[in-house]
């Protein structure tokens, strides 16, 4: 599929060293429950950062704070130099942060194509009246949106091939739904992509495919990526940097090997003293 | 001041009645997450049953049995028959739609409500049927505190309402069936996998909820004297609100909501105008729901992202 | 898993999900021949289809439809337009609006107030070409206002608030300032629609106007549905959070749906008021709401063609046929026979049931006559050949009221029981149920057509939902449990 337009936001020129996303001493609590405390995290331009940690560590909560679902109790979220905390989710998405959902939240009763087209809403501006009358701006935007959607879907090759575009999203297999979630997120032309367990429920072949896909996303579409993943093959395969969370606190950061063998990470996953489990009282 | 207390007493009595209807509504919502629009019409059926019991035993002026026995028969029969009707409705109209999109059972409920209302119109005609309560329970038998009078029917309705509410509270909190109801309300599928007979539990909930509506119907007949096929809709509507104001799915919430609406209505009628009472009650409720969507005693539903 | 038919080399790779997709599509069609016809019809594009349907609608009056049929046509178009407008809010934006009928009433009352002598004392009496646009703009504003709670409330809570809004509208027009709003007596003496040199005075004129409005509204809705706005509505319906994460301003999009729905309803309201030359609070009460919902859900929520077809079916049955005693008898017996033909297999069992029913009828009639002559002294409600055929078969006592009432109660119980029991008993119970249905019809139901058609409407809603929740033309939706 030939794309009639260049890939979105080709390496947006900006201050070279400034990270695209910066969480500054971010805290969030629900009542007495401290979900995140003083979290410092940054993602540089065109960097792939993995977020790991045991269940309940607060990884998805980080995503929810970044995308505006939750408002942080303290601290700040800065995207491309601007503070975005407290903004409405659709505005944050419009600025260039797109996400996928761990639990899959596709528009199931819309077609595959429409799922991606719906995500172009924030990039199009034709009013309902213009749409009804099919005025030039509405027609041009519709054409561009379809071209973008076709381009984005073609990114997944045979997996989301053309004959599936008009099928309802509910007819897709589980793995394909995960791919469509990514495609839909790309439909917003993001600069930063938040992937929540993109390889969950996939078989080893598909997992390998996803690992390559994440790298390709960065290389070919120039997006920075923050990815939550439990599968260490994916994490080690694509990340530039790994951050480990536990109980809402960052416990380790760095290259994959260093983080994976970090005592605090081992402890978070396996418990304080593994031998204590085997010892009688 | 006497007027104030009189209106308060009247409001509490009406409120107890609303609370009973609201309880059933709230219970059904709890287990099925269904706004049972037919609930108000079950109340209407209960009121008709009471009327026909009175007529069966000779009419209000020439009763062939003692009044207490008459009352017992009225309440028991209304509870039993309306409860049965509720179970039949659930089996016939709602059970096939357990896994359908949410709008389907809601529309069905509207259909059932319409069906019941017009069936009553067909069978009993459009005219108001009159209980003539004062003919067999004198207004003078009651208590007077200062210039505030509480007549015997009001006392009875209050006591009965209170008893039923306490009983229901105990049923839900203490018994095995209550535990099953709560489990089904939280997660139907999980409850089923844990060996709870979900169909039976839902049917039992419908029976209890509908029976309460039937009892409330008889109480309404005794208190307000008039029965008609259209009385159910408005009371149903107020019961919905009562349960929503109190927090839908919460039993104490439904009681509180019912009482509040009864009292509010009574004061609006007494101090402003009976013409605007429904309008103002609706306006009040819209405001309450906007300020506190989860209701006074309801819990905020957490949504998992 | 292997599939029997191998895909051609050039074709798509047949995977499990494509198979599921095909099955999913297949389920949406009506069963049997009707489904084939539906598929043929769908092969024609949307616009030619609309043109054909619009033309057919336009030429109907010249085929010699009388005054009654024309009125049914007008009522049908009114309900069709309301169902289409409701579909924006309920079907697309996925917001359950139970107060929708109030917008219809708002349009009608707005026109009645502005274009009649009602508030002439305030010096207001506008021509229609001015009052209709004013009412539509005001309705859009009201729609936004009523939609505001959708920012905070979702699902059932919003449904209740909108229901209150609908009830409050009826209470308001009934009770507030009777001098201005007419109270229960309504407002009479409205101007007929006129403007731009055209004045509509006859029912035929209103019919044509409504046909034109319907075609325009359907076109606009179709164009909206395939635009970014339509996609945003459906995305919000499917998953508000995901929609927000995909740059869609959920609240604004919902409000837009409310406003569009309100404008359609108000437009129809003005035309309806002008055609009736009067408005009454009861014209905008719950029964109309139920009628609109019945049309929408019968046709299929979320589908333009569904809403239109649903309104056509519901109104022709409810307004056209059930209002007429002879036709309603045909409908009643016709539906029963049709249902039996479709549902009762094999033929032998169908024949046995019919024969047993006939025999039961004659036997019951003979026994009743032997007991008391007055038990069969009445005449069935049906007249003509149907009445003659039933005369010696169905029991109609001299005073049929009691039998009709009890028969009705027993019939409802029998029908509920029919659903509960299994095969042999179901067939056995069917025989008395059929006979009883006829008895009840001839003694009670046919005598009170106004009530009967309401009962039938309720029954249609229940049976449609239970049998085909997605409606006639609707798409079966997949819902993710929350």
Q: What is the pLDDT of residue B201?
A: 94
Instruction: Count the neighbouring beta carbons within 10 Å of the beta carbon of residue B243.
Output: 36
Judged against a pLDDT cut of 70, whether residue C7 lies above it is answered with no
C125 belongs to a structural domain: yes
Cα A118 → chain centroid: 17
- Contact of B305 with chain A, judged by CB distance below 8 Å, is answered with yes
Whether C316 and C335 map to the same domain: the answer is no
More confident residue, C24 or A30: A30
Separation CA B263–CA C350 (nearest Å): 59
Q: Taking CB atoms and an 8 Å cutoff, what residues of chain C touch B119?
A: 408, 412, 455
Q: What is the pLDDT of residue A90?
A: 94
Q: Of A49, A48, A47, A46, which is closest to residue A11 (Cα–Cα)?
A: A46
Q: Taking CB atoms and an 8 Å cutoff, what residues of chain C touch B108?
A: 461-462, 465-466
Of the candidates C321, C355, C389, which is a domain's last residue? C321
Partner residue facing C416 (CB), from B88, B290, B293: B88
Which residues 242-261 of C are in CB contact (within 8 Å) with A?
242-250, 256, 260
Whether C373 and C228 map to the same domain: the answer is no
Instruction: Count the neighbouring beta carbons within 10 Å of the beta carbon of residue C356.
Output: 17
Whether C128 and C214 map to the same domain: the answer is yes
A114 and C24 within 8 Å at the Cβ level: the answer is: no
B278 belongs to a structural domain: no
ipTM, two decimals, is 0.88
- Which residue of A lies nearest to B302 if distances are taken between CA atoms? A30
Q: Reduce the DSSP state of residue C276 to 3 states and report it.
A: helix
Element (H, E) at B166: helix B152-174
C463 belongs to a structural domain: yes
Whether C297 and C427 map to the same domain: the answer is no
Q: Taking CB atoms and an 8 Å cutoff, what residues of chain B touch C412?
A: 119
C91 neighbors C301 (Cβ within 8 angstroms):
yes
Of the candidates C321, C350, C379, which is a domain's last residue? C321
Q: What is the pLDDT of residue A43?
A: 94
C365 belongs to a structural domain: yes
B261 belongs to a structural domain: no
Q: Of C300, C340, C403, C315, which is closest to residue C71 (Cα–Cα)?
A: C315
Whether C437 and C294 map to the same domain: the answer is no
Q: How confident is the model at residue A273 (pLDDT cuts 50, 70, 90)?
A: low
Judged against a pLDDT cut of 60, whether residue C23 lies above it is answered with no
B267 belongs to a structural domain: no
Separation CA C127–CA C100 (nearest Å): 27
Q: What is the pLDDT of residue B219?
A: 93
How many angstroms away from the CA of A256 is the closest CA of chain C? 30
Enumerate residues 6+ apart whose C-beta is below 8 A from C352.
C427
Judged against a pLDDT cut of 80, whether residue C195 lies above it is answered with no
Q: Which domain holds residue B216?
A: 2-229
Residue B115 pairs in a beta bridge with: none
Residues B262-287 have a mean pLDDT of 81
A235 neighbors A256 (Cβ within 8 angstroms):
yes
Question: In this complex, which chains have at least 3 CB pairs below 8 Å with chain A?
Answer: B, C
C244 neighbors C254 (Cβ within 8 angstroms):
no
Which residues 285-304 of B are in CB contact (within 8 Å) with C?
285-286, 289-290, 293, 303
Helix-then-strand count for chain C, H and E: 20, 4
Element (H, E) at A83: strand A82-83
C375 belongs to a structural domain: yes
Separation CA B71–CA B159 (nearest Å): 14
Instruction: Count the neighbouring beta carbons within 10 Å of the beta carbon of residue B9.
Output: 20
C246 and A119 within 8 Å at the Cβ level: the answer is: yes
Q: How confident is the model at residue B304 (pLDDT cuts 50, 70, 90)?
A: very low
Q: Taking CB atoms and an 8 Å cutoff, what residues of chain A touch B304?
A: 103
C2 belongs to a structural domain: no
pLDDT tens for each residue of B7-22: 888 899 999 999 999 9
Q: How confident is the model at residue C144 (pLDDT cuts 50, 70, 90)?
A: very high
Average pLDDT, chain C: 84
Report the percentage of chain C scoring pLDDT > 90: 29
A108 neighbors A169 (Cβ within 8 angstroms):
yes
Q: How confident is the model at residue C9 (pLDDT cuts 50, 70, 90)?
A: very low
CA distances from B56 to A12, B59, B63, B72 (A): 87, 7, 9, 14
Q: Taking CB atoms and an 8 Å cutoff, what residues of chain C touch B112?
A: 458, 462
Whether C302 and C369 map to the same domain: the answer is no
- Structural domains in chain B (count): 1
- Best of C42, C226, C231 to disrupt the A interface (most A CBs within 10 Å) is C231
Judged against a pLDDT cut of 90, whether residue C158 lies above it is answered with no
Across the B/C interface, how many CB contacts are shorter than 8 Å? Answer: 141
Partner residue facing B100 (CB), from C161, C448, C469: C469
Judged against a pLDDT cut of 70, whether residue C1 lies above it is answered with no
Residues C389-406 have a mean pLDDT of 84
A126 and C220 within 8 Å at the Cβ level: the answer is: no
Residues C170-194 have a mean pLDDT of 85
Q: What is the pLDDT of residue C13?
A: 42
B111 and C482 within 8 Å at the Cβ level: the answer is: no
Whether C309 and C334 map to the same domain: the answer is no
Highest mean pLDDT among B169-173, B189-193, C100-104: C100-104
Element (H, E) at A22: strand A21-30
C131 belongs to a structural domain: yes
Whether C270 and C381 map to the same domain: the answer is no
Residue C271 is part of a domain; what is its CATH number?
1.10.3470
pLDDT tens for each residue of B68-113: 899 999 999 999 999 999 999 998 889 888 877 777 888 889 889 9
B255 belongs to a structural domain: no
Residue A39 pairs in a beta bridge with: A26
B107 and C466 within 8 Å at the Cβ level: the answer is: no
- Structural domains in chain C (count): 2
Residues C57-70 have a mean pLDDT of 81
Report the percentage of chain A scoring pLDDT > 70: 90
Residues A247-267 have a mean pLDDT of 90
Q: How confident is the model at residue B298 (pLDDT cuts 50, 70, 90)?
A: low
Judged against a pLDDT cut of 80, whether residue C419 lies above it is answered with no
Which residues 117-136 of B are in CB contact (within 8 Å) with C?
117-119, 121-123
pLDDT tens for each residue of A237-255: 999 999 999 988 999 999 9
pLDDT tens for each residue of C357-387: 999 989 988 888 888 888 787 788 877 788 8
Instruction: Count the neighbouring beta carbons within 10 Å of the beta carbon of residue C57.
Output: 21
Judged against a pLDDT cut of 70, whether residue C209 lies above it is answered with yes
Q: What is the pLDDT of residue C482?
A: 40
C34 belongs to a structural domain: no
Judged against a pLDDT cut of 50, whether residue C14 lies above it is answered with no
Judged against a pLDDT cut of 60, whether residue C481 lies above it is answered with no
How many angstroms away from the CA of A270 is the closest CA of chain C? 32
pLDDT tens for each residue of C64-85: 677 888 888 999 999 999 999 9
How many angstroms away from the CA of B128 is the closest CA of chain C? 17
Q: Taking CB atoms and an 8 Å cutoff, what residues of chain B touch A103?
A: 304-305
pLDDT tens for each residue of A121-172: 999 999 999 999 999 999 999 999 999 999 999 988 888 877 888 888 888 8
Q: Which DSSP letter does residue C88 get?
A: I
C175 and B103 within 8 Å at the Cβ level: the answer is: no
Q: Which residue has the tokens 């729905």?
A: C261
Q: What is the pLDDT of residue A200?
A: 87
Whether C52 and C114 map to the same domain: the answer is yes
How many angstroms away from the CA of B29 is the closest CA of chain A? 26
Which residues 22-61 of A are in CB contact (within 8 Å) with B?
60
C451 and B121 within 8 Å at the Cβ level: the answer is: yes
Q: How confident is the model at residue A41 (pLDDT cuts 50, 70, 90)?
A: very high
More confident residue, B284 or B58: B58
Whether C117 and C201 map to the same domain: the answer is yes
Q: How confident is the model at residue A274 (pLDDT cuts 50, 70, 90)?
A: low
C35 belongs to a structural domain: no
Across the A/C interface, how many CB contacts are shorter than 8 Å? Answer: 133
**Burial level of A133, CB count in 10 A (0-12/13-18/19+)?**
middle
Whether C93 and C215 map to the same domain: the answer is yes
Whether C291 and C165 map to the same domain: the answer is yes
Of the candidates C272, C287, C321, which is a domain's last residue? C321
B14 belongs to a structural domain: yes
Q: What is the pLDDT of residue A277?
A: 47
C458 and B111 within 8 Å at the Cβ level: the answer is: yes
Partner residue facing C246 (CB), from A69, A93, A124: A93
Residues A44-63 have a mean pLDDT of 91
B112 belongs to a structural domain: yes
Judged against a pLDDT cut of 90, whether residue B53 lies above it is answered with yes
B265 belongs to a structural domain: no
Q: Which DSSP letter does residue C469 get?
A: T
Q: Which domain holds residue C150?
A: 45-321
B260 belongs to a structural domain: no
Report the percentage of chain C scoring pLDDT > 70: 90
Between A20-24, C151-155, C277-281, the lowest mean confidence (pLDDT) is in C151-155
Residues B102-126 have a mean pLDDT of 88
How many angstroms away from the CA of A273 is the closest CA of chain C? 39
């Amino acid at each position: 599929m030939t794309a009639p337009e260049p890939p979105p936001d080709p390496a947006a020129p900006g201050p070279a060293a400034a990270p695209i996303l910066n969480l500054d001493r971010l805290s969030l609590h629900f009542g007495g429950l401290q979900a995140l405390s003083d979290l410092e995290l940054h993602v540089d331009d065109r960097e792939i950062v993995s977020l790991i940690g045991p269940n309940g560590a607060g990884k998805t909560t980080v995503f929810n704070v970044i995308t505006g679902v939750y408002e942080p109790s303290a601290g700040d979220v800065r995207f491309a130099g601007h503070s975005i905390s407290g903004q409405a989710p659709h505005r944050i998405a419009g600025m260039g942060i797109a996400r996928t959902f761990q639990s899959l939240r596709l528009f199931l009763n819309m077609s595959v194509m429409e799922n991606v087209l719906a995500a172009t809403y924030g990039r199009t501006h034709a009013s309902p009246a213009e749409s009804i009358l099919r005025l030039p701006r509405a027609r041009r935007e519709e054409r561009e949106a379809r071209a973008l959607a076709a381009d984005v879907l073609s990114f997944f090759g045979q997996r989301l091939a053309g004959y599936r575009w008009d099928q309802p999203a509910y007819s897709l297999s589980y793995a394909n739904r995960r791919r469509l979630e990514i495609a839909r997120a790309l439909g917003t032309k993001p600069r930063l992509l938040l992937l929540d367990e993109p390889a969950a429920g996939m078989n080893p072949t598909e997992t390998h495919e996803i690992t390559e896909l994440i790298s390709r996303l960065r290389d070919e579409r120039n997006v920075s990526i923050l990815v939550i993943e439990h599968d260490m093959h994916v994490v080690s395969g694509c990340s530039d940097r790994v951050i480990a969370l536990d109980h809402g606190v960052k416990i380790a950061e760095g290259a994959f090997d260093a983080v994976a063998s970090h005592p605090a990470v081992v402890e978070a996953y396996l418990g304080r003293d593994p031998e204590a489990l085997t010892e009688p009282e | 001041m006497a007027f104030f207390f009189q209106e308060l007493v009247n409001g509490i009595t009406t409120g107890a009645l609303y609370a009973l209807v609201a309880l059933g509504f709230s219970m059904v919502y709890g287990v099925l997450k269904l706004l049972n629009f037919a609930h108000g019409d079950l109340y209407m059926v209960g009121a008709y049953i009471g009327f026909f019991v009175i007529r069966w035993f000779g009419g209000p002026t020439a009763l062939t049995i003692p009044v207490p026995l008459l009352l017992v028969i009225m309440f028991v029969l209304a509870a039993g028959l309306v409860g049965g009707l509720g179970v039949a409705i659930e089996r016939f109209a709602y059970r096939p739609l357990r896994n359908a999109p949410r709008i389907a059972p809601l529309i069905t409920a509207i259909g059932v409500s319409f069906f019941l209302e017009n069936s009553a119109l067909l069978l009993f005609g459009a005219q108001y049927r009159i209980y003539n309560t004062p003919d067999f329970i004198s207004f003078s038998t009651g208590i007077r505190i200062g210039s505030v009078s509480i007549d015997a029917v009001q006392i009875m309705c209050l006591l009965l309402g209170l008893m039923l509410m306490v009983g229901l509270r105990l049923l839900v909190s203490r018994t095995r069936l209550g535990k099953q109801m709560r489990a089904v309300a939280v997660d139907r599928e999980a409850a089923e996998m844990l060996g709870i007979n979900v169909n039976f539990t839902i049917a039992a909930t419908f029976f209890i909820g509908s029976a309460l509506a039937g009892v409330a119907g008889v109480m309404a007949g005794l208190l307000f004297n008039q029965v008609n096929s259209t009385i159910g809709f408005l009371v149903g509507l107020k019961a919905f609100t009562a349960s929503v104001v109190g927090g839908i799915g919460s039993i104490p919430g439904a009681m509180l909501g019912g009482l509040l609406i009864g009292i509010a209505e009574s004061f609006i009628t007494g101090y402003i105008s009976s013409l605007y009472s429904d309008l103002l009650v609706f306006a009040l409720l819209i405001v309450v729901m906007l300020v506190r969507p989860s209701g006074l005693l309801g819990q905020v539903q957490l949504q998992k992202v | 898993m292997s599939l029997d038919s191998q895909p051609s080399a050039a074709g798509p790779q047949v995977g499990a999900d494509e198979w599921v997709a095909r099955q999913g599509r297949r389920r949406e069609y009506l069963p049997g021949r009707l489904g084939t016809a539906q598929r043929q019809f769908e092969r024609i594009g949307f616009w030619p289809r609309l043109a054909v349907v619009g033309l057919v609608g336009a030429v109907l009056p010249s085929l010699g439809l009388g005054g009654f049929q024309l009125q049914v046509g007008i009522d049908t178009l009114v309900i069709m337009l309301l169902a289409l407008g409701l579909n924006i809010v309920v079907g697309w934006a996925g917001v359950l609006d139970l107060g929708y009928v109030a917008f219809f009433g708002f349009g009608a009352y707005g026109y009645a107030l502005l274009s009649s002598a009602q508030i002439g004392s305030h010096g207001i009496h506008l021509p229609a070409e001015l009052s209709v646009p004013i009412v539509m703009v005001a309705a859009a504003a009201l729609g936004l206002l009523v939609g505001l709670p959708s920012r905070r409330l979702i699902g059932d809570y919003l449904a209740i608030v909108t229901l209150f809004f609908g009830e409050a509208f009826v209470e308001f027009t009934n009770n507030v300032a009777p001098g201005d709003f007419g109270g229960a007596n309504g407002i009479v003496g409205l101007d007929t629609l006129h403007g731009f040199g055209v004045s509509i005075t006859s029912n035929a004129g209103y019919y044509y106007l409504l046909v034109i409005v319907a075609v325009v509204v359907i076109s606009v809705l179709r164009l909206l549905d395939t635009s970014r706005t339509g996609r945003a509505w459906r995305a919000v319906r499917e998953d508000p959070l995901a929609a927000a994460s995909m740059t869609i301003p959920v609240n604004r999009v919902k409000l837009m749906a409310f406003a569009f729905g309100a404008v359609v309803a108000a437009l129809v309201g003005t035309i309806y008021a002008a055609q009736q030359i009067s408005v009454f609070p009861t014209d905008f009460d719950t029964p109309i709401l139920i009628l609109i919902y019945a049309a929408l859900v019968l046709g299929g929520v979320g589908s333009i063609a569904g809403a239109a077809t649903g309104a056509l079916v519901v109104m022709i049955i409810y307004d056209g046929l059930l209002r007429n005693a002879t036709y309603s008898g045909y409908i009643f017996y016709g539906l029963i026979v049709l249902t039996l033909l479709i549902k009762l297999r094999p033929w032998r069992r169908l024949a046995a049931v019919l024969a047993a029913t006939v025999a039961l009828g004659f036997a019951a009639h003979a026994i009743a006559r032997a007991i008391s002559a007055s038990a069969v002294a009445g005449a069935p409600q049906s007249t003509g050949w149907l009445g003659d055929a039933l005369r010696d078969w169905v029991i109609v006592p001299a005073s049929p009221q009691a039998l009709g009432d009890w028969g009705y109660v027993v019939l409802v119980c029998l029908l509920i029981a029919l659903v509960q029991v299994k095969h042999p008993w179901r067939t056995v119970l069917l025989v008395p149920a059929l006979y009883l249905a006829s008895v009840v019809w001839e003694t009670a139901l046919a005598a009170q057509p106004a009530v009967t058609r309401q009962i039938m409407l309720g029954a249609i809603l229940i049976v449609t939902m239970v049998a085909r929740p997605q409606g006639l033309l609707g798409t079966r939706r997949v819902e993710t449990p929350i």
